[in-house]
Structure 1
Amino acid sequence: MRNSSNVFHLAIPCKDLDETFHFYIVKLGCKLARRYNDRITIDFFGDQVVCHLSPENIDKDPQMYPRHFGVTFFEKKDYDNVLKLAKERELTFFHDEFIRFKGQVEEHLTFFLKDPSNNILEFKYYYDHRMMY
């Protein structure tokens, strides 16, 4: 079971560290943890995302499934705030907000963003919190 002091870690490729910094830190509002010549480490909503400079590994034609990552919010206001921020700061939407599994217990709101290196980020909110896992 996850302890609140433990942090999930994800490493992804990026093509340019300055673009990556601008997207995640300046536009999306994440916190910079560390930056080196070959990577940037980000506090991504409480977890660690490390963007490794690896322009030869960029997905030229990204798809939502199966490769994406993101945040499932417990509070709807937090989901709404990120959606509002993404629109106001004109982040690139891979898919606009929509409802998945409408009318079912696992019904949830979701939207997808695309970072400058074509990594796909999903943000979602389940009406029934039991469905978060």
Structure 2
Amino acid sequence: MRETNKVFHLAIPCKELDETVEFYEKLGCKLARRYADRVTFDFFGDQVVCHLSPNHVDENPKMYPRHFGITFLAKEEYDKALQMAIKEDLPFFKEPMVRFAGRQEEHLTFFLLDPANNLLEFKYYHDASMAY
């Protein structure tokens, strides 16, 4: 498990800064910094940097092998993120579903699509030991 004095960092492409800021703020992320070529967010306690690179946007994204997101340890937080996505009319790539039903690794999940076609997964495991 990660120590609390560390922050995970992820850099991803974006095609336009204003729409990127709008999407991530609607998701509840805080804009930390903005420059002419990138924006940095507090993404649920970690750092996501969206670099302006419209020529590197995946026009046909697939869930596997590339996506990122949050595994919530509290169901209430998962539910809150889902309700926020619905309320803000954020684009779903995959609607909420249950994966691995009836197995120890059963979890709730949904995927969102950001303006640059980056896929974000949000999930909650009923058995917290399966989070890693």
Distance 2:41 2:82 in 1: 20
| Aligned position for 2:68 | 69
Unaligned segments of structure 2, at least 5 residues = none
Count of residues paired in the alignment? 132
Instruction: Report the Cα offset of residue 2 of structure 1.
Output: 2.2
Q: 1:126 — aligned with what? A: 125
What is the match of residue 15 of structure 1?
15
1:93 is matched with which residue?
A: 92
Partner of 2:105: 106
- Tell me, in whole angstroms, the C-alpha distance in 1 between the residues paired with 2:65 and 2:112: 15
Taking structure 1 as the reference length, the TM-score comes to 0.98
Q: For 1:94 and 1:64, how far apart are their aligned partners in 2?
A: 9
1:105 alignment partner, SS class: coil
CA distance in structure 2 between the aligned counterparts of 1:113 and 1:62, rounded to whole angstroms: 11
Specify the SS of the correspondent of 2:69: strand
Instruction: Give ranges in structure 1 of 5+ residues lacking alignment.
Output: none
- Matched with 2:49 is 50
Q: CA deviation at 1:88?
A: 0.9
Superposed CA deviations along residues 48-89 of structure 1, whole A, max 9, x for unmatched, are: 000000000000000011100000000000000010110111
Aligned identity (percent) is: 65
Q: Which digits, 9 at most, give the CA deviation of each residue in 1:14-62, with x for residues without a partner? A: 000000000001x111011100000000000000000000000000000
Deviations for 1:67-123, whole angstroms, at most 9, x for unmatched residues?
Answer: 000000000000000101101110000000000000000000000000000000000
Indicate the residue corresponding to 1:59 in structure 2.
58
- TM-score, scaled to structure 2: 0.98
Structure 2 counterpart of 1:99, which letter? V
